[in-house]
Amino acid sequence: MKQLLALVLILFITSCDNEKKFRVIRLGHGLDVSHSVHQAMIKADQYLNEISSGKMRIQIYPNQQLGSERECLELLQIGSLDMTKVSGAVMENFAPNMRIFGLPFLFDDKEHLFRVLDGPIGKSLLKDGEDFWLKGLGYYDSGSRSFYTRDRPITIPKDLEGLKIRVQESASAFEMVKQLGGSPTPISWGELYTSIQQGVVDAAENNPPSFYLSRHYEVCKYYSIDEHTMIPDILLVSTHLWNRLNIQEQEWLQAAIDRSVKDQRGFWTISENIALEAVIAAGVIVSYPKKEPFQKATKGMYEEFKKDSVIASLINQIQDEKN
């Protein structure tokens, strides 16, 4: 029913747009309006308006107004929605090479990550979903993911044994949690707070702003920052829309997104600091376990991934980008 209402709303907006002399691009996502990604999307709209001299705008629908992350992806695939934001972990279901982002401890630091994303490797990966009507336009920073738990801190992999840990719909995330001794449990983001509160799961993993803005710190009082993965958010456009745009419109949209990417990375750094200060003030115990035991425990994932020659090549290329 929710998806049907979203489609009706979109069709109504589309009919209104046809009467106007400028193009409105509809972008739906599931994040709060205070999130750095939403703020960057607002900047993208402003840039697009400026670059196109008022001929193109982006209409943003946050907070799952048009559906969950998965539902927005499906709307893009049938051409009923123009743009959305998804985690790189979710995209591996449509673009298999993007599962590279799910490898634990692949990147040394943010500088290493950004060199890869902004260079030939990252640009090539953005094209991987086009067979599924999903074209990547750019990467937003999503920081690093770490574990947060209800009842005890995570200091070594053994501490994860026996815990039910919420993961995204990602085979890589499943495998990582298994290799660390936990029990991976897929739960939608919108249901996670209640699931933790009711004991359906014992833990989850995400970045500091998501931990804070979701208010998961109210039910999880331990945040163990092991930074196991750095999985970017990916801004997607439906190829149904992209192929209708003329070359100049495509250039305008890409330029606006490129500029917003730079803004978002600055917004993200600020939001990370604010989030950590806020959860500590709320009584969360933040710790920084040694990474080496976690790296050792997940080495098997590298051996498995390297059985795929394309992924093996990607791993080597990414490691070559280290300082």
| CATH number where 285 lies | 3.40.190.170
Residue 119 CA from chain centroid, whole number: 19
Per-residue pLDDT, 93: 83
pLDDT digits (tens, 9 = 90+) for 301-314: 999 999 999 999 99
How many separate domains does the chain show?
2
Residues 207 and 278 in one domain: yes
Residues 49 and 170 in one domain: no
Per-residue pLDDT, 94: 87
* Percent of the chain's residues with pLDDT above 90: 84
Instruction: Give residue 38's domain range.
Output: 2-95+103-141+233-272
Q: Left, alpha or beta for 227 (phi > 0: left; psi -120 to 50: alpha)?
A: left
Average pLDDT, the chain: 92
Per-residue pLDDT, 155: 97
Per-residue pLDDT, 16: 47
26 versus 189: which is more confidently predicted?
Answer: 26
Predicted confidence band at 90 (pLDDT cuts at 50, 70, 90)?
confident
16-25, 41-50, 55-64, 87-96: least confident range? 16-25
Q: How far apart are CA 23 and CA 34, in angstroms?
A: 26
Tell me: pLDDT of 69 over 80.
yes
Q: CA torsion sign, 207 to 275 to 69 to 199?
A: positive
Residues 133 and 185 in one domain: no
Residues 291 and 181 in one domain: yes
| pTM of the predicted model as reported, rounded to 2 decimal places | 0.87
Per-residue pLDDT, 19: 41
Predicted confidence band at 262 (pLDDT cuts at 50, 70, 90)?
very high
Residues 61 and 164 in one domain: no
Q: Tell me the average pLDDT across 172-182.
A: 94
Q: How far apart are CA 154 and CA 222, in angstroms?
A: 8
Contact (Cβ atoms closer than 8 angstroms) between residue 153 and residue 268: no
Contact (Cβ atoms closer than 8 angstroms) between residue 84 and residue 76: yes
Residues 282 and 247 in one domain: no
pLDDT digits (tens, 9 = 90+) for 285-299: 999 999 999 999 999
Per-residue pLDDT, 169: 83
Residues 244 and 299 in one domain: no
